[in-house]
Structure 1
């Protein structure tokens, strides 16, 4: 195995990195001379077999282009090409064939090579041009593949978003429901935060907000599963601790990771809007405010997160009085866990309550109130990377009769 710089002097352009896989020393020397005369600024590495080529690819950077002989001591024909394509998926591959093997060259292109060259017809200018064009075609193909992956990911994200963040199912025009979701800056995709609001035939309003631990498609899919199940259970007449227990059973049946867990808060607001029954499973508290904009943090007793200790999580259902013309704000921990100081200080719940009181005191409407909470939390952590976790906020308000 040898490496040599050929073509133009180093420093004028970034050299093209080439790997020649050729067992014939005479052919290898001829190709090196042609490259030197081609005007292509390149750094050539020579491997005598496919095995040596794999070692080079493992130990060093991937080359921009591979010149591959189809007759090697340890690999022959299209099998050699397939193995090289698998070993260097980001490199352009040009196959080197004999005078009587043009059909083999065409077959190689159909398998995945960017081009083929006949050894007996090589000329310096054609060799340099073929390498440039092959590298460009490979870069275009890689870019197109990346765009396709991005498009498919965006479509998947949109489907998950529709499942995680549904339209509230309410008919009472006195209700004021505002929802917001903002993915964390680290991953910029949906995580496992979910919420929902359903009004049942008796006039009660049921709301849930939850957070599947972790980020990614699996967590988002689990969030969709739990959110849809929650709505189904509510419409079937379940509520309170029994409903939460059913959700844990579903989590245990569906999760791939035995350590996966979910925090959530489930709220049932009575038809008279004077009280709510709240069940918390490892989730942070919620905010309550009155018609004058006075805000307080509500943290009724709760149980452990779903899936933490299966079958052992008793979840008390706690009544909470509600002020006329007020509302509730449910949220996930991403809203208050942003770093605000150089020593790891966090906004925390106390800081969030202060933000809410400032916004409530300003007499903002529900949408502006929720947006002020999120923008205030972002501003507080802006000097330390901003909010890096998903943020979900659910506002549930009502006008006084």
Structure 2
């Protein structure tokens, strides 16, 4: 299943996004809380001013003179006694004002804030001196503050996200160096452990332990492969020598059928020897046994591989390498790849094999073309599996391991191997290595 957008992002990006979102939520909550506290402070300051005005008007209420503008006089039930018309207060609001609590009244007009100061007249009756003001100024102040709060919150969240991006990059930089060192580590080498006593040092130590276990496993596999190859080669060589002697010097009274049987034994012993050699090389490639990569000039390596071909009347091998091209591998690996690819093409070709070396930017391509029966489309991936024989070439000799070994060696260096159709109508096998940064 394809990972989602979040899973495809880098750790640095995810940290910055999470910090930015958390900062935005926290700052919005704090701004909301701050706006509420600001409104409460403004309203409480206004309540004090209203209470002072109502207190100052108590003397006028006691002597029965008219109250200043903006003030009202009612009984404890909220009924006006100052002759100025009704008061827009419901009974619950009047009771709250009588108990000393300020009241905010919202209606079809502007929201107003009311404060009451009780007064006891000389005849013993109780009155309420009411003072009020509109809250338009307070709400305007709050709206103006909110207009500055939101951009400030967004800017602060962006700044914190950018800081998290930079901090995550600085924190992950040692991880990148550790990754680069791990990618370049060779056999029997270990990662440098940072002097700090942190998680990176612990990670480097654990990776070194893993590399140690890997090298131990590779050593055991190498010893087993070497021992098995040695134990198998000796009897195979003895069997082949015996068969060759029997074919060259037939025993008295032996028939043609006897000599043909010994020739078959000699051919099978030779195939067994090649099979053991290929199995040993493939086991070492699977075990990760490879030296440090170096710059290998493919043109010279192809010429050496052609020089190792048997001097017989087989198909002609041509080489085209117009410029120097250096592959990032080892000479032994390149030699094995060339021996298998050129030998495979020569076994299947009718008359000619073309070997081309083509630089391609960051890559170096090796093309081996023949004019043989070719490889069917449905078999072009399977030919690199072990013991795979294409039906069109099933009658030829070979262990069925050569192309599998080629694929392991080339892919082990980060390259690719492909099978296709050559311009001559046969098979084209293409090996692509990463280009070495510079020649020797």
Which has the larger helix fraction? 2
Q: TM-score range by the shorter chain?
A: under 0.3
Per the normalisation by structure 2, the TM-score is: 0.24
Name which one, 1 or 2, has greater alpha-carbon Rg.
Answer: 2
